[in-house]
Amino acid sequence: MLKLSSVLIVSSLVMPALAMAQASMSVEQKISAALKGEHRTEAELARDADRDPMAALQFIGLRDDMTVIEFLPAAQAYYTKILGPVLVDNGHLMTVDNSNTFSSWGDWTEEPEFKMTHPVVIENNYSREEGRYVPGEIEFGVAEADLFLHFREYHNFNEADNMRINAKVFDTLKSGGEYVVVDHTRRHMQPETGVLGRREDPVDVILQVQRAGFVLDRASTMFFEESDDLSKEVGQIPNMTDRFFLVFKKP
């Protein structure tokens, strides 16, 4: 049996070794480890096939030393549970949503992997009368950031509020910082209807974000889905919806 002094010596040697091993991991290895985390639910694991987070984050160019703003991660916190562990040692993750979202997350937020994940509470309530979310003052909880993620939420706001959000993103990102928008596709120039309310015209998004001062840097066809003819409400699509994937850069 090891004496206590021997255990302490072994621990003092092992812990730095573990820290060094973590530090030497590539971003891809950290993403892979996060994808296998016990904090992820079966529902989230089931979404990996159509969201392909490894390929998506590689296309974005995620680094583990970034300050990242995740806008409206919602109750599922799908990307939060991946990004938090990747950024925990060298970066920061600002999660921006209303208080109801954060109160629904549960105990996983108290795990060490999320010590650099910072909830930022904003007023963002759904108006049934208007059929959209109505944001109050827009704050991201940080003076500057490297990356802003707007995943499948752009459609929830009218143009005026999206322009307010875009302007705040532009002011917050560093020069060279990137603004990522992914959303369900609506056919260009097709009017918005109740059925198409959770879809967005990618051309409109490009023009609106460019008006805020950004430059479109690249786009991915990763989420192109030929079986989606863009005519149905997104909840009626049996597999993956067609989605656009845009990365803008602040000059």
User: What is the pLDDT confidence band of residue 129, given thresholds at 50, 70 and 90?
Assistant: confident
Strands in 55-171 per DSSP E: 67-71, 92-97, 117-121, 124-127, 132-135, 145-151
Mean pLDDT score, 224-231: 96
Three-state secondary structure string covering 157-193: CCHHHHHHHHHHHHHHEEEEEEEEEEEEECCCCCCCC
User: What is the pLDDT confidence band of residue 2, given thresholds at 50, 70 and 90?
Assistant: very low
Q: Does domain 27-249 have CATH number 3.30.56.10?
A: no
Mean pLDDT score, 229-247: 95
User: What is the pLDDT confidence band of residue 130, given thresholds at 50, 70 and 90?
Assistant: confident
User: What is the pLDDT confidence band of residue 239, given thresholds at 50, 70 and 90?
Assistant: confident
Q: Is the pLDDT score of 113 beyond 50?
A: yes
In the chain, the percentage of residues whose pLDDT exceeds 70 is 91
Residue spans of the domains in the chain: they are 27-249
Q: Are the C-beta atoms of 54 and 29 separated by less than 8 Å? A: no
Q: Is the pLDDT score of 32 beyond 50?
A: yes
* pLDDT at 96 (0 to 100): 98
* pLDDT at 16 (0 to 100): 52
First-to-last CA distance in the chain?
63
Q: Is the pLDDT score of 53 beyond 80?
A: yes
pLDDT digits (tens, 9 = 90+) for 92-106: 999 999 999 999 999
CA distance 95 to 102: 9
Which region among 18-32, 117-131, 147-161 has the lowest average model confidence (pLDDT)?
Answer: 18-32
Mean pLDDT score, 35-46: 93
Q: Is the pLDDT score of 220 beyond 50?
A: yes
Q: C-alpha angle with apex 122: 160 to 65, nearest 5 degrees?
A: 100
CA distance 170 to 177: 9
Amino acid identity, residue 229? Answer: D
pLDDT digits (tens, 9 = 90+) for 9-24: 444 444 454 445 556 7
Alpha carbon separation from 101 to 18, 68, 87, 106, 211 (Å, rounded): 34, 19, 21, 10, 30
Q: Return the structure tokens found at 207.
A: 């023009």
CA distance 152 to 198: 9
237 contacts: CB under 8 Å, gap ≥ 6? 228
Q: Are the C-beta atoms of 197 and 154 separated by less than 8 Å? A: no
Mean pLDDT score, 123-149: 93
Amino acid identity, residue 42? Answer: E
* pLDDT at 20 (0 to 100): 53
- Pick from 79, 84, 78: which is nearest to 112 by CA? 84
Sign of CA dihedral 210, 197, 232, 42: positive
CA distance 40 to 38: 5
